[in-house]
Amino acid sequence: MAEIRDVIPAFELFQPNSVANALGLLDKYGQDAWVLAGGQDSFDWLKDRIKRPKVVVDLGAIEELKEIRSVGDGLEIGATTSLTEVARHSVVKQRYRVLAEAAENVASPLIRNQGTLGGNLSQDSRCWYYRAGWPCFRAGGDLCYADSPTGMNREHAILEASGCMTVNPSDTAPVLLVLDAKLVLRSRHGERVINAEDYFVGPVTDVRRLNSLQPGELLTAIRIPPTWAGAQFYFEKVRDRQVWDFALVSVAAAMRLSDRTIQHVQLAVNGVAARPLRLRAAEAALQGKGRTEQAAEAAAQIAVQGAEPLQHNGYKVTLMRNLIKRAVRGGAEATWAS
Amino acid sequence: MADYKLIGHDYTTPEMLAKVTGQAKFSEDIRADGMLFCKLLLSPMPHARVLKIDASEALAMNGVAAILTPDDLPEVTVPPAGLTPFALTGWTERALTKEPLYEGEPILAVAAVDEVTAAEAIEKIKVDLEPLPFVIDPLDALRPDGPNGRTQGNVFVGHVGIDSKDIQALKWTAKDFGEVAAGRLPWDAKATVETSVGDVEAGLKQADLVLDETFFIQSTAHQVLEPRSTFAYWQNGKLYLYGSTQSMIRSVGPIARWVGIEPSQLVYISEYSGGGFGSKINSYPYVAIPALLSKKTNRPVMLRISREAENYIGRMRPGFQARIKMGFRKDGRVTAIDSFIIEDPGPYELTGQAEQAAQVASNSYQPLATRFRGIYVATNTPPKGAQRAPGLPQSVSMFEPLISKAARKLGLDQVEIRKINAPSSDSKFGVREPLQNLTSAYVREALDRGAELFKWQERKQRVSQRSGPKVRGIGVSVGSFTAGSVGYDGLLLVKPDGKLYIHQGIGNFGALAVMDTARVAAEFLGMPWKQCEVVWGSSGKHVPWSSNSGGSQTAHAHSRANYATALDLKRKLQEIAAQQMGGSPEAYEVDNGYVYRKDNTGSSLAFAKAAELAIKLGGKYDGHEVPQQVNALTKASVAALAGQGLIGVAKDEFPRKGATQGFVAGFAEVELDLETGVYRIVDYTAVADAGTVLHPRNLGGQILGGSVEGFGHITTRNMIYERQSGRLVSRRMYQIRPPSILDVPLEMNWDAVNIPDPQTPVGIKGVGEPPVGAAAGAVLCAISDALSRVDKDIIYRTPVRLDRVLAALGSGKIHDLLAAYA
């Protein structure tokens, strides 16, 4: 049968107005249902006719999923809050500036208006082989086209790769890791709250998925505790174009200092593995140290230990090391004169 | 400078309101009762033979109307002599094929009641394909045991558009490939073309400095804003076809040939086109698909091309693998350029851009001697073609960094070394004898003006200071390209309503020469612009034979044609006035919609009245007689308009000695982060030598728009293939990465030297193409300048993405300098 990567096939569309109704639909249609939030990931799959759901459950009409509210000293952000709203929200900007920065660096203004925070966290791999429908590990096949002598893998993983060489494309994910965020997952059978870090899965856990959402489950909210509010933050995303591009490597840091001594620090990177990585060994190396170039260099070296670049992505090791150094240094390297 | 009322003044072009309000109808917007939509089945393999097509299941579906296969296409004959090379696109290439030569080449099409049905029908078709040997990287085809991209061989020989379908086999030796492995193109390897001017060996010998370097320049997809969608229906034996093209009237012949009809059977409508960049110069073979499906079904048919399919069938600029030797005297003068360039034109025919690249270098840098050797290697990648300044961005990507490197080694200023080598109006250029004369060249003036605007000297001091992990660099570059052709027709009509109708056969694809050159006719008839109507966008509107809207020809060609025609119309007005009011025709002048006596006696005749009189007079006045020298197509248009009013019709027969060339000097500053390899263009200034400025705002748009296109060649645009399967992996815009508005400086400056070309009336030259090269070269040189702050070499491979910068900084390894599509 011939292949055509054009025209979205027909599907049945549901637009529930409550989470309960959405969960009912997911329960009813099971594997046949596709959850649609901002659509920035979904429509690509649908138009390529690679994912062919019978039923699409559009979350766009559920108001309760679009709220940002204070919960205790922290913040709860509804999963379909647009990235633009996250980036512009006054409390986010004042207390968790690093999240606003990451949201502001996603794709383009148009995509940020349409794309959601939950969607940014839950989006699928952008590996060009997988996205084009090649029968790779992630698609249920038995090889990785990026990990072959002729593989084009400039944008692929340098860490934690096992079979599949994909990287996680989310800009906000590493930030949520350093902020100790928790994610609220609901299904018809109840609610579970997990650490942001546990939401993301690498190929060792499940080569077919980038997150731990179970069938019938919906990511409904992102909770940010007050732990790191107002800390010293750093975020930088390195990409080829300044707009509508995924991170080659991104870094996020939250730090509390006493004088010039690092009291607490949390570091995370993305774009280097199938999940955003908290860099605990590097954090430990920095704990109690002065914020010096030497300490930054040592932490960066620890972080890239074990990196295994492919033919075309060795530069990511340099990039990751330098970004971690900059995150530890803090300052304004990410800003440009223009 | 003459005191013009319209020329050199800004105005709002007549189609602008429709464009900005969304009222403009592009071919994809057309709807008709009972229309069908068709979808294409594209080859999943880079080279294969179609053994069997089984469409029975698809044709049995509800709503499926017809299938079109290669067997349904008419025989296409070799085009008649006199057609330009551009019209040959599709000579060997057809709308559908039984032997796909690249992944994505259309094999068949299905028409159905809607696109959902058509797409489902495509999926139900069984196509048996026999895979054939294929090659993606031109160098692989030259290996002793390398595959050939075509069954007949692996290299195209001959000249563009003349005999370029001749294919032969050519292999290099194992020893040659020893050099390739070391990252150098083997200098003594076989070539298929060699041309020279002067003694290049002697030139290199007398040089104080010889640079010898290998380069890789990438291929880039055109990805125009409007995909090449087409809508077609038949009525009374005539085909009505709505398409997107650069050249309106010049598309009629090729389309008729692809569909298998006479040009007189075609009404071609192309009122608005969303860009072409050279990929739609004379339309494209795929228009035959909806036309023939419509004939088969007797219903209107729409073919919408997807963004992804544009990567395949929408053309690309050919990439180069090249080695250049360049000799310099101590004072910076270029003594010799010796180029060996491999072009990857795709599977159908050579584009000649390798030679074009050497030719623009011979113009911009005026070497005392030059030699060009080249090979055009057939690959199973999408067909390449003209893309805004074919050969120029590739050329500057090699020569400009070499000149920068030479200036640094010789201790010369970067602007000065370019001025030393720049052409002047009495210069010649070319890589073949006889050399071509220039009509004019004001490159030094452009460089001086640019250096002044950009504050070159001041900036040179400033950027040498380093702060933190960032360094700055500045670069300057010259871009040159053809800027005008001659010998086309104009057609003007004054109707009894008193309006001047300016008929234009060139296309409306964004460059706006279709409107701007109409102003020339109005200017010389003293006609207020608000009383002028530009008639464009359909062969049914009776337009004159025109130049191709490509190669920066139109502003020059049609300012001439419209000037000639304005003179013809003016003469007729003077004659009618003399007949009515006495005296000689010379006693009369035209202005403001009136022809009046120069001696101020108050005798005058309104154009409206003159039009009525012209109809009464008949003959040459109302189009019943046509000058012999105009094109047959112009004659047909005049015949159709005859009797409607006073007609002006003429051919541009003004003399021209030499070749019209446009020039742009570009100046860029970049800031480069040594820790990430990321760099940004923080400032850009371009100054054009485009002759007389016709429409300042549009000129600025062309210069800066072309500049952004040039930036993309250097910074991010790329196509990537998987070698083992020969399939394209960078399919989406976010993967092929054209620059966005956030990738360019917020404010960019432009200016023009505004000196008329002495060999064309009004002095206007084209400007569409040189800015692309100037910008590409300036940015690349600015990056090299920034890298020189930390004692690093120039860049030898484009695009210059951050991984390449990190590699140049010595902290990362880049795979294989010469590998294509990586």
For chain B, domain boundaries: 17-132+225-275+280-313, 396-484+659-808, 487-651
Q: Please report whether residue A196 resides in a domain.
A: no
**DSSP state letters, B102-114:** STT-EEEEEEESS
What is the band of B167 on the pLDDT scale with cuts at 50, 70, 90?
confident
Q: Please report whether residue A230 resides in a domain.
A: no
What mean pLDDT comes out for the span A306-331?
Answer: 95
Mention every residue, 6+ apart, whose C-beta is less than 8 A from residue B245.
B251, B268, B270, B273, B276, B280, B281, B282, B283, B507, B509
Are A1 and B125 a contacting pair at CB < 8 A? yes
Omega before B761 within 30 of 0, i.e. cis: no
**Dist CA A228 CA A247 (whole Å):** 24
Q: Please report whether residue A21 resides in a domain.
A: yes
For the stretch B471-499, pLDDT in tens is: 999 999 999 999 999 999 999 999 999 99
A45: which chain B residues are within 8 Å (Cβ-Cβ)? none
- What amino acid is encoded at B599 in this protein? D
- Report residue A297 as tokens: 């260099």
Say whether pLDDT at A139 is over 50.
yes
Q: Please report whether residue A132 resides in a domain.
A: no
What mean pLDDT comes out for the span B493-513?
Answer: 96
The separation between the first and the last C-alpha atoms of chain A, rounded to the nearest angstrom, is 52
Number of domains in chain A: 1
Residues 703-732 of B with CB under 8 A from A: 715-716, 720-724, 727, 729-732
For the stretch A219-234, pLDDT in tens is: 999 999 999 999 999 9
What was the ipTM of the complex prediction? 0.96
Intrachain domains B396-484+659-808 and B487-651 with the same fold: yes
Say whether pLDDT at B78 is over 80.
no
Are A132 and B39 a contacting pair at CB < 8 A? no
**Dist CA B806 CA B796 (whole Å):** 13
Say whether pLDDT at B85 is over 70.
no
Are A325 and B721 a contacting pair at CB < 8 A? no
Residues 60-89 of A with CB under 8 A from B: none
* Sign of the dihedral defined by the CA atoms of residues B386, B387, B388, B393, in that order: negative
Q: What is the pTM of this model?
A: 0.97
For the stretch A170-201, pLDDT in tens is: 999 999 999 999 999 999 999 999 999 999 99
State the number of CA atoms in the 13 A half-sphere of A164 facing the CB. 31
From B551's Cα to the closest Cα of chain A, the distance in A is: 29
Q: Answer yes or no: CATH 3.30.365.10 is held by domain B396-484+659-808.
A: yes
Are A245 and B737 a contacting pair at CB < 8 A? yes
Of B730, B815, B822, the CB nearest to A128: B730
Mean pLDDT of chain B: 95
Choose the mutation target among B459, B676, B714, B804 for the interface with A, i.e. most A CBs under 10 Å: B676
Bridge partners (DSSP) listed for residue B490: B650
For the stretch B252-278, pLDDT in tens is: 998 998 999 999 999 999 999 999 999
Residues of the domain holding A53: 12-62
Contact B473, B782 (CB under 8 A): yes
Of B677, B722, B743, the CB nearest to A152: B722
Bridge partners (DSSP) listed for residue A185: A192, A219
Instruction: State residue B466's pLDDT score.
Output: 82
Say whether pLDDT at B541 is over 70.
yes
A323: which chain B residues are within 8 Å (Cβ-Cβ)? 675-676
From A12's Cα to the closest Cα of chain B, the distance in A is: 14
Q: Which residue has the higher pLDDT, A159 or B182?
A: A159
What is the band of B84 on the pLDDT scale with cuts at 50, 70, 90?
very low
Instruction: State residue B87's pLDDT score.
Output: 38
Instruction: State residue B733's pLDDT score.
Output: 94
Say whether pLDDT at B83 is over 50.
no
Q: Please report whether residue A70 resides in a domain.
A: no
Mention every residue, 6+ apart, whose C-beta is less than 8 A from residue B673.
A333, B469, B470, B679
**Dist CA B595 CA A92 (whole Å):** 72
Superfamily for the B17-132+225-275+280-313 domain: Aldehyde oxidase/xanthine dehydrogenase, a/b hammerhead (3.90.1170.50)
Q: Please report whether residue A44 resides in a domain.
A: yes
Are B41 and A242 a contacting pair at CB < 8 A? no
- Write out the CATH class of domain B487-651: alpha beta
Does A244 contact chain B (CB < 8 Å)?
yes
Q: What are the percentages of helix, strand and coil residues in chain A, rounded to 5?
A: 35, 20, 45
Of A242, A248, A312, the CB nearest to B740: A242
Does A241 contact chain B (CB < 8 Å)?
yes
Closest by CA position to A135, among listed B427, B216, A127, B673: A127
Number of CB pairs < 8 Å for A and B? 140
Contact B167, B150 (CB under 8 A): yes
Does A314 contact chain B (CB < 8 Å)?
yes
Instruction: State residue B86's pLDDT score.
Output: 38
Q: Please report whether residue A245 resides in a domain.
A: no
Instruction: State residue B411's pLDDT score.
Output: 98
- Report residue A89 as tokens: 């929200």
